[in-house]
Amino acid sequence: MTDLSSKAALVTGGGSGIGRATALALAEAGAGVVIADIDEAAGQETAGLIDAAGGRSAFVRTDVTEWDDLERAVSFTVETFGGLHVFHNNAGINTGWPDFPEAARARWEKVLAINLWAVIAGIQAVVPAMRSSGGGAIVNMASLAGLVAYGTDPIYAATKHGVVGLTRALGGLKEEANIRVNCLCPGFVDTALPRRRLADMPPDQRARWEGALERIPMIAASEVAEGVMELVGNESLAGEVMVLLQGGVRKLVPVPGFT
């Protein structure tokens, strides 16, 4: 396991699902972990789990679509744990029902804001602190939906394709600032997110989707956290896109059209 005992980490969306699993894994590796989430109760709960396991954690309420909140989360991390070396750029949502193009504009604009604007802004907010800390690792949360034609939620797919492109384009930060930017593309993960869109569906649609989700082999959030830890720990990886499938299968994705 990578030793992060002198390091500080910031996890957006660390209150549940994948972010919580990553926050626990980073703390287990020794990092001081700041959980930044819009849901205060959930974020505090993750911090409590880390503390109960003997780790170091702190919570800062953060709406990742607010620049001031992002800047506060970064300065809070530096003040609390003496730097910023690992950033899991993770908070994300799906569009919900009905899908695009029927989806209300405010709803798909919110998906763009959280899944893409905030991922870009998050990187801009952490880079100065990472430079001052001597460098670090950024792991952006993309999705298999960022690589394939995910017709279920086209807006979600567009944001995740954006995260994949952004990650590849930022590979050069390794040379320039010793900051390695990579991203992870899991298939369906067993968290609240895939089921959230069912809530607004008409009953017949919901029954069909519930059945489909039961048949899909789900990845455990802890398996995704292992992928994040590999991207954090492997010093040779920068600008890489890693697919993660059920059973812990992890593969780097070649740039399409060039291999």
Binding residues for ligand NAD, per CB under 6 A?
12-13, 15-19, 37-39, 42, 62-65, 90-93, 114, 141, 143, 186, 188-189, 191-194
**Does residue 150 have an active-site annotation?**
no
**Between β-strands 32-37 and 8-12, what pairing exists: parallel, antiparallel or unpaired?**
parallel
Q: How many CB atoms are closer than 10 A to CB 213?
A: 14
Q: Which residues contact 35 (CB under 8 A, 6 or more apart)?
A: 11, 14, 15, 19, 23, 43, 46, 47, 57, 58, 59, 60
Instruction: State which residue, 157 or 170, has the beta carbon closest to ligand NAD.
Output: 157
Q: Which 8-state DSSP code applies to residue 258?
A: -
The minimum distance between CB 55 and ligand NAD, in angstroms, equals 18
Residue 95 CB, shortest distance to ligand NAD, in Å, is: 11
DSSP β-ladder status, 56-61 and 86-89: unpaired
Q: Which is nearer to ligand NAD, 13 or 136 (CB)?
A: 13
Structure tokens at 13: 């969306």
- Of residues 162 and 186, the one with the C-beta less far from ligand NAD: 186
Which one of the listed residues 42, 90, 156, 189 is annotated catalytic?
Answer: 156
Q: Are strands 241-245 and 249-252 parallel, antiparallel or unpaired?
A: antiparallel
Asked whether the bond before 98 is cis by omega within 30 degrees of 0, the reply is: yes
Element (H, E) at 72: helix 67-81
Residue number with CB closer to ligand NAD (2 or 94): 94
Cis peptide upstream of residue 101 (ω within 30 degrees of 0): yes
* Closer by beta carbon to ligand NAD, 174 or else 183: 183
> In angstroms, what is the minimal distance from the CB of 156 to ligand NAD?
7
Distances (CA, A) of 81 to 18, 43, 115: 22, 18, 27
What minimum distance in Å lies between the beta carbon of 17 and ligand NAD? Answer: 2
Q: State the Cα–Cα distance between residues 253 and 233, nearest whole angstrom.
A: 18
Chain centroid to CA 203: 31
CB of 16 to ligand NAD, least distance (A): 4
Overall residue count recorded for the chain in this entry? 259
Q: Which is nearer to ligand NAD, 210 or 235 (CB)?
A: 210
Minimal distance in Å, beta carbon 190 to ligand NAD?
A: 7
- What are the residue numbers of the active site? 156
